[in-house]
Structure 1
Amino acid sequence: MSLLRLRNVRLLLIATVTLMLYGCSGEDPAPTSSSGFAGLAEDVDGFEHARPNQPLIFPQEHAAHPDYRIEWWYLTANLKDAAGESLGLQWTLFRQALMPPSERPAPTPWAADQLWMAHMAISHGKRHQVAERFGRSHSQAQLSTPQNNQAGVVASPFHAWLDDWQLKENEEVASTDFNHLTLTAYSDEGESRFGYRLELTAEGPLVLHGEEGFSQKAANGQGSMYYSQPFWRINGDVTLNGETKTVSGRGWLDREWSSQLLDARQSGWDWFSIHLDDGHKLMAFQLRGAGDGSGGSADIERGADYRSGTWITPQGDATPLATDDITLTPLESSVVAGRDIPTRWRLEIPSVGIDINIEAPHANRWMTTSVPYWEGEVVVNDRTSGDSLGVGYLEMTGY
């Protein structure tokens, strides 16, 4: 075996671990070191870096950014079937560059400088079904097509895929404006088969987070390029437990790319996407600093904590929310996969009149993927009256 192939095998093993962008490692908490949570604070030379005053240009930004180290296309959805029963849905495509652009090999059938991972999940009552897949590709543009690569993303017409899991422009709609997409993903066979085919229609504009798309993640300036489409109207079919149901509801798609995302002291994060019944949307997250990487409150280094968010009107106008605007307080925890996971929160944003409780109706939303994390649907209630205000999704890592 040549030295180049040996190096690529080693890089493949390393990247398979660090590609798990939203998790913690194995049975033990993710370590905090100079590389930070899951390696996302690693100082990497030769890659492009997210920074302020970097205009986002569409539709190009919908495609992959192979000169950045990490990237994802992340869809969550709150749905109901014809009987009014709630379902939750997740589909995520992750990309990681194996090496900086200057070190990449020439494209050949065996050369791969990008690794890909996809997650899918369906939640219905106590049932939570999860699957994942892995793929590889070369970054060179002329190979970035489904015919030539196992996985990839192109901008126009939009197409994101890993094998036959795909999110793409709806071929029945004469449009390439990222407003009409079809999502298809199935796993297993026979009675164990589960998955979905869904039609997504955007009912509002794209939303840029942070400073015109640059989302700071730490006081020292680390961050990502980050935008969302929080206005998806979703219709389609979901198959679970040997039964196919017609569903409809609301979806939220996040897009982020970076090369050095976090502060080295940050041990994990809590991320919320909320659809309020009055038409407003809310994204909020906090990154937790912890001395030993446990994510526990006893050893939090407050200097590494960081919060941010975006308040979105029904028309799509976005107001950035700073660290001091947001207070997140865990109210109740559940034991999930041997970990204490906060499944009930209080969120306060006085500047926009928000004081709400956010609760997971079902705690068992543990993603049993190669590197696990918690991801599930939540309900939103008024803190004082208890009145229902909306639904959303919550992601938690590093516990």
Structure 2
Amino acid sequence: MSARPAAEAGPPAGTVDADRSDPAYRDWLKEAVRRVQADANRSADTHLLRFPLPERWGVDLYLKDESTHPTGSLKHRLARSLFLYGLCNGWIRPGRPVVEASSGSTAVSEAYFAQLIGVPFIAVMPRGTSPEKCRLIEFHGGRCHFVDDPRTMYEESAALAAASGGHYMDQFTYAERATDWRGNNNIAESVYQQMRRERHPEPAWIVATAGTGGTSATIARYVRYMQYDTRVCVADPENSCFFDGWANHDPGAVSDRGSRIEGIGRPRMEPSFVPHAIDRMMKVPDAASVAAVRALEGVLGRRAGGSTGTGLWSALKIVAEMAAEGRPGSVVTLLCDPGDRYLDKYYSDAWLARQGLDITPYAEVIAAFLATGRWPRAGL
């Protein structure tokens, strides 16, 4: 199932490429890199929101709000890094399309950067991707190419890149290496800078979710590089193989269906997922993810996507464990993207009914925890 980028070594066989030392190409490349770097220079840091909990618990919870990026999600950071990586490697060429396998948010962000530097963009995605994400991809000048089986996205993307002479970006391979995990204002460095004046400035736990695995790898590597005592937990949704692969030390773990939580969960162990850097994983029921984002709206007045709920459910469980053991500290998780992209899914009772998801018991657990500080059901 693994497919390498079809165009990273140059154009398809049978074509002649004479522009590698062409001054016109180098001028285009310098301008493209300047535009991508200028986007970063214009961007302020994203907010670190405090999730209100009683002071007496001794535990503080924060959400890093990545929905405020220009393209509205955590994937804006990744897309910027991937474009710089592809440009500086000579893989992205003027006039040739960039192709990506994506369930939505990465494609929205990559469409933005493709338009910024003036190259075509094609997103290969499952047919059930939210219409709002498709609209945003097209708004930024991209084109959507749908597949019925999410497991075929890799091969389809590589084939499209080969046929067009373009570049298959392959976020699932390059996410963990395109981002500078030592710093350079990556998401981990940003969190620690923003936590400096909090009562527990070094988080006991940072909770992430995994689509490519690049974010959790960046955070975990930065923690070790800076010699912090923070632990990293990855929350995994249903229909994803990451938890099983991590728990069983099985790099060949697979899932026979796609994740219902868009943006996270994969049917195979992706190359950018670095299991040995992670301290803990939790398997989160999809109904719990939805209950958590609806609870978030009630507490902060903010709607978020399902992946935020997956991480928030795990973060709340960790807070409950710390409070029960009398361990003061802080926990940080991510607000990955806005909920208005999913009004027809996670905020639709009709969609929940069609999926056979009952969020009631999970909503009751969250409500009881916020009222009492105790996690009332050991099995949830």
TM class by smaller structure: under 0.3
TM-score by length of 1: 0.26
More strand as a share of residues: 1
More helix as a share of residues: 2
TM-score by length of 2: 0.27
